[in-house]
Structure 1
């Protein structure tokens, strides 16, 4: 019996559910709309947005992409966001990070309407997550990890969970999701970071380890308790002379060493990545449902 959590297969389950909701919206004359905004020509951003665009097309979400020059000013970007906020045909807005150094990322994320913030980065939605208010949007990657745990039958109530990394995109929201007093939560969380003493000792007592440090192969076999669930969120590029490009993408987990020990583990790629896109699609459809008569998300 394999111990792999197949993120691609579970993402396809979610896509099927999302497609049914899209059909229900279309019966009412509503097509969900998602607007992407890219600034500059960062190669990785171009690839990520392209993958999301293809998924939108496959599911029936209308997507538009604005590609702005690297020299775009913050004021110009804010003006575009204001225009998208006011467009009733746009239900979700995603400003692809990273942004150029002269643009303040928190200011941009805060300019997106909370009701269209399908990335879950607006302070209103961050605050709702911390308060356990389910009317807000949750960041897509930690939401995807949570969904993988749920659909893999992992018990979270009372579990010792170590989250490696305290970033705003994965680490902090992941901890907030799992410590809620709610179904599929109620875990005991340890948030490990660069100043943590004896990281390995924390990891060895964990029932669940979520690796989001941004360090290639950080989590080694001797840091994992036999039978633990290991979720690899990391995306790191390392040199590989055998690859045509001269490099390849790896996660934060030393997969070859950890897989034989883990009870369940996500591969990388093919684990968390597909779920991030699946949750983005779900958030967009939910935004369209709310905008056309569903639950209210306060602005």
Structure 2
């Protein structure tokens, strides 16, 4: 399904460049797309100085991502808008679960030696089980990049399969760390193997690499998702992460999903945006839509 599949980098970059150049989303339509982006954000904190208090503030923002006057101005109070998930380190999962009690917002946890993924496999599997037992609904795992660089697809498949089994009921998002895979062909192959091994989502990056989510890489991954569905009938979700900070980025990746995979991939069950600061810019743009003025950043609650 994948070893003989060529990927033309120049063509991928050209196609990615046309996605936003040929599309202009303005006014009420832009506001609607930005509200949808909020529904798909995995609101994330993955810092070495994370605390219970920071996680609680993040969860409060996830529960109420927009200021009340913006919600009223947009007329979306009945939506009960919230983010797609909250993503934290395993030790922070109990704090997030407690803060989100009574909501439908899932808690996602990174695991498997994030971000490098170079701890022994047994420890990585134990970390998955720890996060799931603590209450995580979704696990963002990192693959061993060496398997891809050596094109050892059997080793990669077996590793992800064991991680899938360790997740139990929790969804598995496989982080490919595409900035470290060298070629777009490797990105396509790694995407295919991760899906064959049972990944519920494939994800571009940890956010810690030198190069994170880009539109050409994302294009290759979503076309792998499309090819996989055509062959198997099974749908896999997609999550770009890292380096996305603006409302403009949220629009660009949604346009990619709509044009390449269709409207079904504009829902949080099949599409997530791994971000934190992006939400602040989306809120700022939506306030401008409602009031006609740009607010200072300190006017919006932050996590």
TM-score, normalised with respect to structure 2: 0.31
More strand by share: 1
More helix by share: 2
